[in-house]
Structure 1
């Protein structure tokens, strides 16, 4: 089911009323175009503060990610912005977060944002995995490995973000903040760094350069080479599936990046 984007003003009046019951009257609303998994992605201004809204219709297949974000938010503050409210009204599921003033992370080689992302990964690795319902890495990737037993190498009890799209990383002056936690997962300690590699390659890093960069992330050194090989191969198949017959440049770059990394790992062996 595709995500059809809407603006704040497009929402049913009862939904807007429910939001304003939490925020006070909205004076201005700006649609944020960067969101890929939300029908509503907007920044609203009231007389007293700014709030970021994200939302999906309650009949959307991904609406469960809204509750996942609400459940995990108390455990990932201040690495993530604070959830202010969660409302469900008139067929819509809406989350309201404190708005962050920052820019989307630049992953290109030499970017000053890269050390801040590494530090955010380090801080995430220090957060105990909460005892809430989370997807498991070995389950999410089971369909993309050669041998079902290979997925067992992704098991672990570490809290993972897994979606390292640079639009999910907001850079403030001295730190990176992580948003969009709907796909938070429980798995092996090195997996977030592995997920990041594909985005780094898509941003212009050679596979070996990307691996050298993520070697700064605590936990990466514990990754068994065979497990990384299996993950790279699984990721390539996953991005092939995501891309399908799509010809847009954004998807094609990530599919190409995943293939490059998979080939790099195969050449290594």
Structure 2
């Protein structure tokens, strides 16, 4: 299969040492958190999903984060099969869930499935002995008043990266992939982050908030806490857009944060 050549030869050799013959490979857009993201079709008739970074990559720590968090996300995340550090690479192999990316457009039946997954995650607490950043730590550069950071405190395990590509619809259930940015914080933060992606996917800000309000933590949260978070997210995405050559989705999300802040004001 000529598509095998799309994997670096040294990586393919390491993988075959672990899983046996690889018959075909389907490369997936690696995105921000992976240099390699691929579905491997194996000689035994099965398949696995592999993602990886070189060991000198500045974000290689996200690999260990995903490995550490995986035992605590059973039923929501694909199961980690193994981790391989060899030849300058850090590779993770997960069960291949298949499925399709979630549809966040208005009226999509996937929205209820995503909410169900979010409710399940909200019942979890950050696992002991796994180093996670807190949301106050992550937002500290994006608030104008450091007193606002206390609004984001909490003991809930958060996914935080609700890009539709990170939510797979599998057998009538939403499953969450790419836990590199898992954090701890207030339970309402995941639905708040989802609001931004819903707006970017075609919802008005009011519609997006009405969906997020179905999360049990939303109406229990003082409005000024969410206001402060919306402003911090706008500043974060402004910094992302300034730092890089923004692609289409970055521009869409940046615009969505502005729309949300205008709504909150």
How would you bin the TM-score normalised by the shorter chain? over 0.9
CA distances 1:51-99 after superposition (whole Å, capped 9, x unpaired): 0011111111111000000000000011100000100111111100000
Match of 2:240 among 230, 239, 242: 242
Contact 2:30/2:36 (<8 A) preserved: no
Contact 1:239/1:255 (<8 A) preserved: yes
Separation in 2, partners of 1:11, 1:62: 20
Contact 2:25/2:38 (<8 A) preserved: yes
Aligned residue number for residue 262 of structure 1: 261
Matched residue SS, 1:230: helix
Contact 1:66/1:182 (<8 A) preserved: yes
Aligned residue number for residue 121 of structure 1: 118
In structure 2, relative to structure 1, the CA distance for the partners of 1:103 and 1:34 (3 Å cut) is: farther
Contact 2:6/2:27 (<8 A) preserved: no
Aligned residue number for residue 251 of structure 2: 252
Matched residue SS, 1:221: coil
CA distances 1:112-163 after superposition (whole Å, capped 9, x unpaired): 1110000000111122320111011000001101101111110111000000
CA distances 1:24-62 after superposition (whole Å, capped 9, x unpaired): 211111101263321101000112211001111111111
In structure 2, relative to structure 1, the CA distance for the partners of 1:64 and 1:8 (3 Å cut) is: farther
Match of 2:13 among 3, 11, 17: 17
In structure 2, relative to structure 1, the CA distance for the partners of 1:210 and 1:243 (3 Å cut) is: same
RMSD of equivalent CA atoms: 1.5
Separation in 1, partners of 2:147, 2:174: 36
Deviates more, 1:104-113 or 1:15-24: 15-24
Aligned residue number for residue 4 of structure 1: none
Contact 2:4/2:24 (<8 A) preserved: no
Separation in 1, partners of 2:4, 2:161: 25
Separation in 2, partners of 1:55, 1:81: 16
5+ residue gaps, structure 1, are 1-6
Aligned pairs, how many?
260
Contact 1:159/1:185 (<8 A) preserved: yes
Match of 2:31 among 18, 29, 35: 35
Contact 1:15/1:89 (<8 A) preserved: no
Match of 2:214 among 192, 213, 216: 216
Separation in 2, partners of 1:205, 1:110: 9
How far is the alpha carbon of 1:234 from its aligned partner? Answer: 0.3
Contact 1:14/1:89 (<8 A) preserved: no
Contact 1:22/1:85 (<8 A) preserved: no
5+ residue gaps, structure 2, are none
Contact 1:12/1:90 (<8 A) preserved: no
How far is the alpha carbon of 1:13 from its aligned partner? Answer: 4.2
How far is the alpha carbon of 1:12 from its aligned partner? Answer: 4.9
Separation in 2, partners of 1:114, 1:90: 42
Aligned residue number for residue 91 of structure 2: 94
Contact 2:67/2:80 (<8 A) preserved: yes
Separation in 2, partners of 1:219, 1:58: 39
Query: 1:152-231 to 2 correspondence within 5 Å?
Result: 152-231=150-229
CA distances 1:152-205 after superposition (whole Å, capped 9, x unpaired): 110111000000000000001310000000100010010000010000000011
Contact 1:120/1:176 (<8 A) preserved: yes
Aligned residue number for residue 82 of structure 2: 85
Aligned residue number for residue 3 of structure 1: none
